[in-house]
Structure 1
Amino acid sequence: MSWHHADLAGLDLETTGTDPETARVVTACIGRLDEESWTAGNWLLRQDAPIPEGAIAVHGITTEFANTHGEDPKAALAAIADEIYAHWASGRPLVVFNAPYDLTVLDRCLSREGLGNLDVRGPVIDPRVIDKQFDKYRKGKRTLTDMCAHYGIAFSADEAHGAEADTKAACMLARQLSHLATGNGRTTVGDLDFDDLHRSQATWYRDNINDFAAWAKRQGRPLDDANTDWPIR
């Protein structure tokens, strides 16, 4: 049975920057999408350093707002990890758009707070990896907004970069991608069980990065960092 109608969990983070090794979590959402409803939990974290203006321009959260209304980062990060583990324990996959960014940020933030590393105890679904595997040569960007538009998911640019809106859109996109044919003419992405899909995505991501690195080298622009680890770097 296809997981098109499966119960999905999702995660999105809004952060202080684009480098997952140094970015801090500003807001986080973990949501659950079933056939009939959407439920979500949200976190706003206090900051130990000013949020860069570039990040504020993306998600709209200022340092003053975060420190006035946010909660202790260590407690919030522990709660986020526990919620993820609870979904995995219940058999739900975790949908994360561009997982190597969000999950690496979360992993490093947990470690920084003395909470250990994020333990991948269940399957992850990364719509960006699936789309890239089955529509390799489509021109244009593959942001969440662009991909939702391509696959007919109602999601506007005005909604983008709000953690809950992004989480729900990613879950809806994952369901839509479950209909993609795998190429053998008999099965779809949704026919893969979650564990097989998780393993397949790790392979697809690695192969895609290696292909791009080889292309960049041929162009005389070798990549400084061609990390192939998925879903956490």
Structure 2
Amino acid sequence: MNTPWHTRPMAAFDIETTGLDVEGDRIVTAALWRIDPTRRTKDVTTWLADPGIEIPQEATDIHGVTTEHARAEGRPAAEVVNEIAAALEEVISDGVPVVVYNAPYDLTLLDRELARHRPDRPLTAQPLVVDPLVLDKQVDTFRRGSRKLVDVCAHYEVPLAQEEAHGAAADALAAARLAWRIAATHPEIAAYSAEELHAAQVKWKGEQSASFQEYLRRRNPEAVVDGSWPLIASPV
């Protein structure tokens, strides 16, 4: 019998940014964990970038990084983006799945940063992704309440204090623990291989988005919900 994916090595990735626009906003901080449950080890690499643009106060209120701090302590965005890409490519080459909560946001924004700073060198391959937001909606579709990371962690009793939320390292580690908890409590999720689970999430995200779009169109017939996962295609 194969060892369940959630008991094998995994990575976890998160970014904090200048805003919510994946096409125009920039990375401010990032974190990538390498976690090995069999060895009980976890190691994190973190980055602080000078995004090259002003960090709006609304973004600073969330992650705590000001424009002045990023300019003084952060490294040039191109260097940071290159290092993030190299670290992810190492994970990908090892065949390790990457946990990313609400993956289309983080991975799409990273993709656009790569296009901005090294247009001739995208990621060599896309990672196998585990998105606890998609998993939670699949196993507990009709639960009421917020699906923000901090609230979903509270539901599953995964530690993530409100004051720690929106720190890239804390959020990424909490997402990994959340993925483990969902798989540990739902055998049907644990039964997938990492490759099978990635493919299943593509389907589930599409279904979830279609259902939400149908709900929104009861009031707004023009509502559109993008079901792309784990990456939103670049606009033509």
TM bucket (normalised to shorter chain) is over 0.9
Question: How far off is 1:119 after superposition?
Answer: 5.1
| Equivalent residue for 1:122, pick from 122, 127, 133 | 127
Q: TM-score, normalised by structure 1?
A: 0.93
| Structure 2: gaps (5+ residues) | none
The CA RMSD over aligned residues, in Å, is 1.4
Instruction: Please give the per-residue CA displacement for 1:59-104, whole angstroms capped at 9, x wherever unaligned.
Output: 0001111111111211110110111110111121010000000001
SS of the equivalent of 2:208 reads helix
2:104 corresponds in structure 1 to 100
State the Cα distance separating 1:200 from its structure 2 match. Answer: 0.3
Distance 1:154 1:114 in 2: 37
- Aligned residues with identical type, % of pairs: 37
- 1:12-34 deviation line (CA, Å, top 9, x unaligned): 00000011111100000011122
Contact 1:110 1:117 in 2 (8 A): yes
> Distance in 2 between the 1:127 and 1:110 partners?
25
2:18 aligns with 16
**What amino acid is the match of 1:79?**
E
* Partner deviation per Cα, 1:148-167 (whole Å, 9 max, x = no partner): 11111111101101110111
The aligned length equals: 227
What's the offset of the Cα at 1:218?
A: 2.4
Is the contact made by 1:179 and 1:188 (CA closer than 8 Å) also made in structure 2? no
Partner residue of 1:26? 28
Deviation at 1:219, TM superposition (A): 2.9
Looking at structure 2, the residues matched to 177 and 146 of structure 1 have their Cα atoms a distance apart, in angstroms, of: 14
Aligned residue in 2 for 1:193: 193
TM-score by length of structure 2 reads 0.92
1:169-219 alpha-carbon deviations (Å, 9 max, x no partner): 1111111111343xxxxx521110001000000100011101111121123
Provide structure 1 residue ranges, at least 5 long, that are not aligned to the other structure: 182-186
Preserved CA contact (<8 Å) 2:89 2:123? no
Correspondences of 1:1-233 after superposition (within 5 Å): 1-35=3-37, 36-115=40-119, 116-118=121-123, 120-181=125-186, 187-223=187-223, 225-233=224-232
